[in-house]
Amino acid sequence: MSERISTPFSSAEVKPYEVVDSLAELHGPEHGVLRLPIELAWGGRTEFDLEDEYDRTAVYKIVLEEGTKQHLEELVNGRLLAAIWQQMRPARPVRALWEKQFPQLRAAA
């Protein structure tokens, strides 16, 4: 009987994602309009209103899934991330990585 080799279902399963060592490293804004750099805004939209629930979760999903450690530190705010974690729907590997690094996020969800 031959052994079956499983292939990834999507690129999200094989992409290397970044994570910080501490939520305190995330110094992004809590209010106002967050402007994404072009390397993260390849989908077209560049501005997100952090006062708007949909915009907050959408922009954080983009940064967590596409950003480098530097992007994370500059664009994401640790307190805001913890506050909206329940509403966020990042790719499963991203959620697993961040919840492994920060069990308090999992506990809040």
Residue 47's domain comprises 23-108
- Residue 3, domain member (yes or no): no
Closest by CA to 98, choosing from 87, 85, 83, is: 85
Outline where DSSP puts E strands in 20-101. 33-35, 47-49
- Residue 5, domain member (yes or no): no
Q: Is the pTM of this model over 0.75?
A: yes
- Pair 17, 97: CB distance under 8 Å: yes
- Residue 66, domain member (yes or no): yes
- Pair 59, 48: CB distance under 8 Å: yes
**pLDDT 10s digits, 25-46:** 999 999 999 999 999 987 788 9
The yes-or-no verdict on residue 108 having pLDDT over 80 is: no
- Pair 35, 29: CB distance under 8 Å: no
- pLDDT score recorded for residue 107: 77
The yes-or-no verdict on residue 109 having pLDDT over 60 is: no
Closest by CA to 64, choosing from 88, 94, 104, is: 94
- Residue 11, domain member (yes or no): no
HSE-up of residue 27 (Cα within 13 Å, Cβ side): 5
Q: Measure the CA dihedral 86/51/30/95, to 10°.
A: 20
Q: How many domains does the chain have?
A: 1
- Residue 1, domain member (yes or no): no
